[in-house]
Amino acid sequence: MTKQRMPRSAPARKEEDRQAKLQSILDAALDIFLEKGFTDARLDEVAARAGVAKGTIYLYVPSKQALLETLIRSEIGGPIGVIEQHILALEASAEDKLRGLFSFLRKEILGTRRVDIVRLILAEAGRFPKLAEIYHREVISRGMHLLRGIAEQGVASGEFHSDAIVRFPQLAIAPGLLALLWTAFFQTIDPIDVEAMLETHLALMMKALKGPLS
């Protein structure tokens, strides 16, 4: 006999509807923030774009800044946590883990609308230092911690002969920031193959880390 699907409970449906509405608000907020700039964007514009009353936004967040903070946590901080758990659970070489992290960067950040959130933060962080602090806490520091952990594994196992990435994990991810800036400002003038650039950087980095002991 075919099993009948159990109907969702009212609380489950209510939570799904709530999350769907929040996602609509976040999508609209990103659109408006990008079009108007964070300073000039208004919550009534976000509400109109999302198709909700302005008061509905306040059921989720207390302010425009809190809305951007939620956007960062939900759209980038969440996926960072997922890839962090996935990579830490892998029984793989440090190089394979780095390749997995770079693949995530290409597909889930640079290859999606999340890249627009990063660009927005880069544009607004100077005027709103609190946003820079939140982005650093939710994204940057976690990424650096993951990179440092992978590098420490490589050094401890003898796979890497250099501890450069342990000391400066920022070096590993620097081309990702270059890709963000380049595709935002120069791609139409001087196109670059971002995927090939990141692959080349990874190959050069592996050669340096696995080079002969000095």
Q: Same domain, yes or no, for 56 and 84?
A: no
Query: Looking at residue 18, which CATH number applies to its domain?
Result: 1.10.10.60
In a domain, 196, yes or no: yes
Domain count, the chain: 2
Q: Same domain, yes or no, for 56 and 74?
A: no
Q: Same domain, yes or no, for 100 and 203?
A: yes
Backbone angles phi, psi at 6, to 5 degrees: -75, 135
The pTM of this model reads 0.81
Confidence band for 203, pLDDT divided at 50, 70 and 90: very high
In a domain, 190, yes or no: yes
Q: Same domain, yes or no, for 132 and 194?
A: yes
With a cut of 70, say whether residue 169 has pLDDT above it.
Answer: yes
Q: Same domain, yes or no, for 205 and 140?
A: yes
The runs of H, that is alpha helices, within the chain are: 10-36, 43-50, 54-57, 64-72, 78-89, 94-104, 114-124, 129-135, 141-157, 164-167, 170-185, 194-209
Instruction: Look at residue 3 in the predicted model and tell me its pLDDT.
Output: 53
Confidence band for 5, pLDDT divided at 50, 70 and 90: low
With a cut of 70, say whether residue 136 has pLDDT above it.
Answer: yes
| Averaged pLDDT of the chain | 88
Q: Same domain, yes or no, for 113 and 79?
A: yes
In a domain, 4, yes or no: no
Query: Looking at residue 84, which CATH number applies to its domain?
Result: 1.10.357
In a domain, 5, yes or no: no
Percent of the chain with pLDDT over 70: 94
Q: Same domain, yes or no, for 167 and 196?
A: yes
Instruction: Look at residue 214 in the predicted model and tell me its pLDDT.
Output: 52
Q: Same domain, yes or no, for 78 and 54?
A: no
With a cut of 50, say whether residue 27 has pLDDT above it.
Answer: yes
In a domain, 114, yes or no: yes
Question: What does DSSP assign to residue 212?
Answer: P
Q: Same domain, yes or no, for 50 and 23?
A: yes
Q: Is 117 exposed, middle or buried (0-12, 13-18, 19+ CB in 10 A)?
A: buried
In a domain, 86, yes or no: yes
Confidence band for 1, pLDDT divided at 50, 70 and 90: very low
Domain boundary among 41, 60, 79: 60
Q: Same domain, yes or no, for 35 and 138?
A: no
Cα 119 from Cα 19, distance rounded (Å): 25
Please state the rounded mean pLDDT for residues 6-27. Answer: 80
Angle at CA of residue 70, ends 66 and 72, nearest 5°: 115
Instruction: Look at residue 207 in the predicted model and tell me its pLDDT.
Output: 95
Q: Same domain, yes or no, for 84 and 181?
A: yes
Instruction: Look at residue 213 in the predicted model and tell me its pLDDT.
Output: 59
For 16, the domain range is 11-60
In a domain, 2, yes or no: no
Instruction: Look at residue 132 in the predicted model and tell me its pLDDT.
Output: 87
In a domain, 3, yes or no: no
Q: Same domain, yes or no, for 42 and 119?
A: no
